[in-house]
Amino acid sequence: MSKTYTPEELKKLPFMNENLNIEQRVEDLLKRLELKEKFKLCAGRHRWETKPIDRLGIPAFLMTDGPHGVAPHSSGGKECTYFPVGICRAATWNHDLCFQFGKALAEEAREVGAHMILGPGVNIDRTPLCGRTFEYQTEDPYLNKKMAVPVIKGVQGERIAACIKHYICNNQEKNRYTYSAEVSQRALEELYFPAYKAAVEEADVWSVMGSYNKINRVYGCAHKKLLKKVLMDRWGFRGFVVSDWNATHLIDNPEDCIKAGLSLEMPRAKHYKRRYLKEAFSKGKFTEEELDEIVKRLLRVMFLVGIFDDPSTLPQGVRNTKEHQDIARKIAEEGIVLLRNEDNILPLERDQIQKIAIKGLNADRKLAEGGGSSAVKPPYEITPRTGLEQKCEDKIEIIDDVEEAEYVFLVLGLDHEEHNDVENSDRESLELPEAQLDLIDEVTEKNENIIVILINGSPIRMDNWINKVKAIIEAWYPGQEGGHVIADIIFGDVNPSGKLPLTFPKRLEDSPAHLTEKRYPGNEKVFYEENIFVGYRYFDTQNIKPLFPFGFGLSYTNFKYKNIELDKTEFSDNEKLTISLKIENIGKREGAEIIQLYIQKVHPKIERPVKELKGFKKVFLTPKQNKTIQFKIIKEALSYYDDDLKLWNVNEGEYKVLIGGSSRDIRLESKFNYKKQ
């Protein structure tokens, strides 16, 4: 029986010494643990925490959902700031905001006593029907990593662990516990890996959550190749892998998880029950070194979040501050996307309007507490109606009669009920609910000035009604300040600057995951036959016109792109190619533009997308102001995964740089040559 230390004795042990480096502290603590205590550390209890080991003063490590605010179900029902959902944040294309969001989220997590936040979610939007599209970011791997890395840095800067999820190919909710994503190495490398790889290499992420599904017939939480070989050995992941909640249930045995590198089974032990581990260990199914490896990873993160340190030396937590509310509002301001604005109907002039009508189910709904694990209970939530009412106060009358109103606001979209934007089920079609289509018909017969506000987290079919309405604002689920921001955009106090982080197809059948049932929904296997052609990579290469392309979003001002210059016409390994251009605000309002840089291989020898995003900049300009923008690219921006060589490769030859305001609005282009040294 090992010694139980008194608090005084504990304080003197080397692992408690804040002046030692973390690796020394981990080693010291590890060597004090008995085998059964190591077993104990590997599984959770009470849904959200690890088991404490009192003898050594190891407290429970506490985890909380989720990706757009601290969840009530994992924080004792606490009220926390409801930030706009992941897809809205991604639509800002603003990394500074992502950092600020991460920091604020961590401050709230710290305040509720948690050590780890279960987010961000970065699964690629492969199908528009995925129930969790709203929680994730984008269809594009470059935008995905650029938006994920600053969130993680923001969170971990507060010494709270970020947990990037769900590794990997958890691209649909239907059959999520059983399907196997049948995916090529090239698609993994080019599309599905990059956000995780960057999270490890650029943000040193402290935790990764293993997915429910299988990947090429092996469960995510027992996937030695993807966890041990890729995540840990190849990318150098130093944190720990946690299972998604109950994601281990259909795995055969504990040793597969241990050997793959799964440190923590949540929410409680299934395979990592002490007696099972003991039995497997005594039969030689895994070694103590293998066990130490997974335990060490967890201990290391415990030290990183300061679980053993004097709390007064740690960053302090706060919740629901004005600053956090402002960040939520700013994300909505920059993430809401103006999709349509016929006759420049927007922005409206408050002084020139007497009567408006507000219709549609989503006008009055508070949606923070839905969606599944990403639910948040905010102290308040401004609905679209409340935001509009406050904006109109004393100036504009809000009436019921749509014929009499000068403008009608139709607040439509989805919600977090089953088969909408929700965890554990996918949508069944791209259409708006029937009753909303009827409402559009009814109202558009009576009034010409219809402004649609969409509250939803995934693409919606619109080609059957779009021409009947003047304006469409894609507000996503815009967080607790959403109603204010919608009103600000409608009345021009905010100039919209969000751009779509995913393609809106005209019809579901146009979407590459929906060409056959093998691809979606699949059955035991889901065949990712579209390979690297997801989102605009498919639409652009096949020349299929989407409803709204990737990167699209309107503004109340206009921008002129000019003077593209490349600093060289030929470039080679270890060199940088500098691309510069001028952007000018030629409209009458101040506003921000997201300038996108795509690369195209001219006459590719192998199959390649017609263009791929490799850079973007968000620039704020006052009227007549212009700025010179510079992009620098290195050869990685030209590379692809070579299936034959089994590595990333770059082909010599001609490439185009395409610069524009969306994937389908290329304003400038230039060519260069790449030559190997």
CB of 441 to ligand BGC, least distance (A): 38
Q: What are phi and psi of 492, to 5 degrees?
A: 80, 10
Taking every pair of C-alpha atoms in the chain, what is the biggest distance, in angstroms? 83
Query: 118 or 260: whose CB is closer to ligand BGC?
Result: 118
Q: Do residues 493 and 170 lie in contact, with contact meaning Cβ atoms separated by under 8 Å?
A: no
Residues 471 and 452 sit within 8 Å (Cβ to Cβ): yes
- 67: closest CA among 144, 162, 159, 157? 162
E-strand ranges in 101-185 read: 116-117, 161-167, 180-182
Q: Which CB sits closer to ligand BGC, 180 or 373?
A: 373
Q: How far is the CB of 19 from ligand BGC (least distance, A)?
A: 35
Query: Whole-number minimum distance, CB 370 to ligand BGC, in Å?
Result: 14
State how far the Cα of 506 lies from the Cα of 514, in Å rounded to an integer: 13
In the bound state with ligand BGC, the residue whose beta carbon lies nearer, of 66 and 615, is 66
- Pairing between strand 450-455 and 407-413? parallel
Residue 421 interacting with ligand BGC (CB under 6 A): no
Return d(Cα 218, Cα 216) in angstroms, integer. 6
| HSE value, Cβ hemisphere, 13 Å, CA-based, for 221 | 32
- 439, 358 contact by CB (below 8 A): no
Q: Read off the amino acid at residue 363.
A: A
Number of residues near ligand BGC (by CB under 6 A): 7
DSSP state of 311: G
Query: Whole-number minimum distance, CB 5 to ligand BGC, in Å?
Result: 33
Q: Which residue in the block uniquely carries the two structure tokens 């990333």?
A: 648
Position among 25, 40, 145, 165 found at the interface with ligand BGC (CB under 6 A) = 165
Q: Which helix (H) or strand (E) holds 559?
A: strand 559-566
Minimum distance from residue 176 beta carbon to ligand BGC (Å): 8
Least distance to ligand BGC, CB of residue 373, Å: 3
- Based on the shown chain and the rule CB under 6 A, indicate whether residue 373 belongs to the binding site for ligand BGC: yes
* DSSP element (H, E) containing 111: helix 95-111
- Please say which residue, 263 or 555, places its beta carbon nearer to ligand BGC: 263
Interface characters, 574-603, with ligand BGC (x: CB under 6 A): ------------------------------
Q: 3-state DSSP call for residue 455? A: strand
Beta carbon of residue 235, minimum distance to ligand BGC (angstroms, whole number):
22
Dig out the tokens for 627 from the structure.
Answer: 């700025």
Q: Residue by residue, what is the 3-state secondary structure of 579-609? A: EEEEEEECCCCCEEEEEEEEEEECCCCCCCC
Distance (Å, rounded) from C-alpha 428 to C-alpha 347?
Answer: 35
Q: Which two tokens stand for residue 85?
A: 């959902």
Task: Tell me the torsion sign for CA atoms 329, 333, 339, 343.
Answer: positive
In the complex, minimum distance from the CB of residue 550 to ligand BGC, in angstroms, rounded to a whole number: 25
Peptide bond into 347 cis (omega under 30): yes
Spatial distance between the Cα atoms of 152 and 671, rounded to a whole number of angstroms: 36
Sites for ligand BGC among residues 200-259 (CB under 6 A)? 244-245
Shortest CB 164 distance to ligand BGC, Å: 11
CA distances for 12 relative to 17, 54, 89, angstroms: 7, 16, 46
Q: Which is nearer to ligand BGC, 67 or 347 (CB)?
A: 67
First vs last C-alpha separation in the chain: 64
Please state, in angstroms and rounded to a whole number, the distance separating the CA atoms of residues 277 and 258.
10
Rounded-to-integer distance, Cα 377 and Cα 439, Å: 30
CA–CA separation, 214 and 520 (whole Å): 15
CB of 169 to ligand BGC, least distance (A): 14
Cβ-proximal residue to ligand BGC, closest one:
373
If the CB atoms of residues 165 and 611 are measured against ligand BGC, the closer one turns out to be 165
Residue 410 C-beta: closest distance to ligand BGC, Å: 33
Side-chain half-sphere exposure of 346, counting CA atoms within 13 A: 32
Q: Which of 125, 244, 415, 421 is catalytic?
A: 244
Distance CA 576, CA 225 (A): 34
Q: Which of 91, 118, 382, 412 binds ligand BGC (CB under 6 A)?
A: 118
HSE of 291, CA atoms in CB hemisphere, 13 A: 27
Cα atoms in the 13 Å half-sphere on the side-chain side of 451: 26
What are the two backbone dihedrals, phi and then psi, of residue 598, each rounded to the nearest 5 degrees?
A: -115, 150
Nearest residue (CB) to ligand BGC, 362 versus 373: 373
244 is catalytic: yes
**Residue 115 sits in the site that holds ligand BGC (CB under 6 A):** no
Please give the helix or strand (H or E) that residue 37 lies within, else none: helix 35-41
For the CB of residue 542, give the shortest distance to ligand BGC in the complex, in Å: 32
Structure tokens at 426: 């996918």
Q: Which is nearer to ligand BGC, 170 or 325 (CB)?
A: 170
CB of 49 to ligand BGC, least distance (A): 12
Instruction: List binders of ligand BGC among 51-90 (CB under 6 A).
Output: 65-66
Question: Strand pairing of 180-182 and 207-210?
Answer: unpaired
What residues form DSSP beta bridges with 44? 50
Residue number with CB closer to ligand BGC (121 or 498): 121
Per the CB < 8 A criterion, the answer to whether 492 and 556 are in contact is: yes
Burial, 284: exposed, middle or buried (Cβ in 10 Å; 0-12, 13-18, 19+)? Answer: exposed
- Name the site residues for ligand BGC (rule: CB under 6 A): 65-66, 118, 165, 244-245, 373
Known catalytic residues are 244
